[in-house]
Amino acid sequence: MTLIERFFEYVSFDTQSDNNTGLTPSTPGQMFFARHLSNEFTRIGLSQVEVDENGYLTATLPANISENIPVVGFIAHVDTSPDFTGKHVNPRIVKKYNGGDIILDEESGIVLKPEEFPELSNYIGQDIITTDGKTLLGADDKAGIAEIVTAMEFLIQHPEIKHGKIRICFTPDEEIGQGADKFDVDKFGADFAYTLDGGEIGELEYENFNAAFAKVVIKGRNVHPGYARNKMKNSMRIANQFVSMLPRHETPEHTEGYEGFYHLNSFVGDVERSEMQFIIRDFNNERFADRKREIQHLVNKINAEFGAGTAKLEMRDQYYNMREKIEPVMFIVDLAKEAMKMVDVTPIVRPIRGGTDGARLSFMGLPTPNIFAGGHNFHGRYEFIPVQSMEKAVDVIVKIVELVPVKLNNYTKHN
């Protein structure tokens, strides 16, 4: 099976995660997909293949050399974002893209336009995989999965490439910040790892947002609107007031680089009850703490104005900036840089305006920077990925594996 055949097969699985089930994995489709992948792992020749009760799929490519070198891991996640539907994904390939508009759904007038997505111009002449305009694509992170599996199969078929022990893990629920919750670092047994969960070709990231989730529930009181004066409390109007008190330009659509934000990503309600869900993001620890305090402060203001118990806050941290855990072992970033350069990929080192399982894993004792998977515009209908970027990601994985014995001989943690 080719890389692209794999990818097309993988995106056919509906694996959206769900923040509200309280289960691991949060949706049954993720476990179904993990078991499908475990069968493929066995078929291509990986060993120690296991899917645990929480949907974590692990496997091993044994070393084919006797030298004492570190165990390297490669990690991706099986779930896709709950932000947009991932059911009945119908990917398409635009061969030798000519630089013009790409019609995704002619009937609905959904078009992928270079004037709106200028990064398309970087891929003129390449083959681009898009959606049909009705779903997300799922390159985040099924591209990463396809690239890792393809690289492992290549290494199995080319035993002349000498390498140490390699560990693979595909996790559930990364998109809802829970991908590392039940990851067993000691059992995984790698000295360091890489997530294949980045965007455009060349991305190499070892900094990410500090992240928190906040749910604000507004309790209202419904009274017949003709007799509601001084009696009704419309929870939707109060919730809108809450949102309006947040800094107007500290939102995803107004920020870039190292700037943090508040993001309202769910709002449901009626007069009696409204629920808002936010994600809070910042690279800086102090600003991150300030943002969480601001949410609490606004909840207190609502309760002071409309009565105790009107607003209720549930807030939890999701992950932290992995930079402090990666900097002491920067050789693993340097190794990835060198691998990219050796396969004619220019490294783009920049912070992740998001998070990966690697952020949590780095704090759990497994340093895990992030490497590009090749996609753009994740979590929506305009998602796309160039075939050539995926192929280069496979090359980078193989080259990292080749370089480890050369660069890190006599490393002694797990061997």
Active-site residue 290, yes or no? no
Backbone angles phi, psi at 228, to 5 degrees: -90, -10
Place of tokens 């792992």: 41
Minimal CA–CA distance to 152: which of 196, 185, 118? 196
Catalytic residue among 174, 203, 205, 282: 174
Query: Residue 328: CB partners within 8 Å, gap ≥ 6?
Result: none
Helix (H, G, I), strand (E, B) or coil at 172: coil
Active-site residue 79, yes or no? yes
Q: Which two tokens stand for residue 149?
A: 């599996």
Minimal CA–CA distance to 137: which of 81, 94, 98? 81
Complete DSSP assignment for 185-233: HHHH--SEEEEEEE-STTEEE--B-EEEEEEEEEE-B---GGG-TTT-B
Pairing of strands 192-198, 370-372: parallel
Complete DSSP assignment for 254-290: G--TT--EEEEEEEEE-SSEEEEEEEEEESSHHHHHH
Q: Would you put residue 292 in left (φ > 0), alpha (ψ -120 to 50) or beta?
A: alpha
How many C-beta neighbours within 10 Å does residue 157 have? 10
Query: Residue 392: CB partners within 8 Å, gap ≥ 6?
Result: 201, 343, 344, 345, 374
Catalytic residue among 14, 79, 141, 203: 79
Q: Which two tokens stand for residue 347?
A: 């490294």
Catalytic residue annotation? 79, 174
